[in-house]
């Protein structure tokens, strides 16, 4: 139990690391919180700095979710213990202690925490996400598809022990995308483009 507590604190700190902000400032001289969609996530970094930097941000945000979960798995922790560590990382991303307890929308870090514990179901949901983005060019809709489909895919794959975690992640991601959902319903959501936006 003590180790889970320590790993949860580590996970929160790692999750709080604002890679989108760090990368944008270091390589583009831009604060993503004041430009584009005012978000530090990979999509906004891609819009502001270019697709390559967006992908780099995505991988960094995925990695900060993977690392603490893998450490918890190496300790042979229970599904409940690993889920607590995973949620701590995602909560760190959303409520970053380095950004006044504000942060991103939890998608990339959610992918990161789920890949080590349920690789195939997470991969299937990621493919569904990419198909939705390819078809609609709405990253927000793809993100909601990813986390919304994951509990179902986990059940179909028999990975029942991870369903509570997936449901918590979906609720958190849906909450963080509430403005996107409103824009989607109003037909005002921005479509994703590989071209760099003017800021």
Whether pLDDT at 199 is above 90: no
Q: What percent of the chain has pLDDT over 70?
A: 96
**pTM for this one?**
0.90
- pLDDT at res. 197: 56
Query: Angle CA(83)–CA(89)–CA(91) in degrees, nearest 5?
Result: 100
Identify whether the C-beta of residue 7 lies closer than 8 Å to the C-beta of residue 76: no
Q: Calculate mean pLDDT across residues 126-151.
A: 96
Report, as an integer, the average pLDDT of 80-106.
Answer: 94
18-64 per-position pLDDT tens digit = 999 999 999 989 998 888 778 888 888 988 999 899 999 999 999 99
Percent of the chain residues past pLDDT 90, beyond the cut: 76
């Amino acid at each position: 139990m003590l180790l889970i507590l320590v790993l949860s604190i580590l996970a929160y700190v790692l999750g709080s690391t604002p890679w989108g902000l760090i990368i944008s400032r270091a390589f583009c001289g831009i604060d993503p919180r004041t430009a584009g969609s005012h978000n530090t996530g990979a999509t906004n970094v891609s819009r502001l700095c270019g697709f390559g930097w967006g992908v780099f941000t995505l991988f960094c945000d995925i990695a900060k979710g993977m690392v603490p979960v893998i450490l918890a798995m190496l300790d042979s922790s229970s599904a409940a213990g690993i889920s607590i560590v995973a949620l701590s990382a995602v909560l760190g991303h959303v409520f970053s202690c380095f950004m006044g307890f504000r942060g991103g929308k939890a998608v990339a870090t959610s992918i990161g925490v789920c890949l080590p514990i349920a690789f195939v179901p997470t991969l299937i949901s990621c493919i569904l996400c990419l198909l939705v983005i390819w078809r609609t060019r709405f990253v927000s809709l793809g993100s909601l598809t990813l986390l919304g489909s994951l509990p179902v895919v986990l059940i179909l794959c028999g990975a029942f022990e991870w369903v509570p975690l997936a449901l918590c992640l979906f609720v958190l991601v849906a909450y963080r995308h509430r403005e996107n959902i409103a824009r989607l319903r109003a037909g005002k959501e921005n479509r994703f483009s590989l071209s760099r936006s003017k800021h």
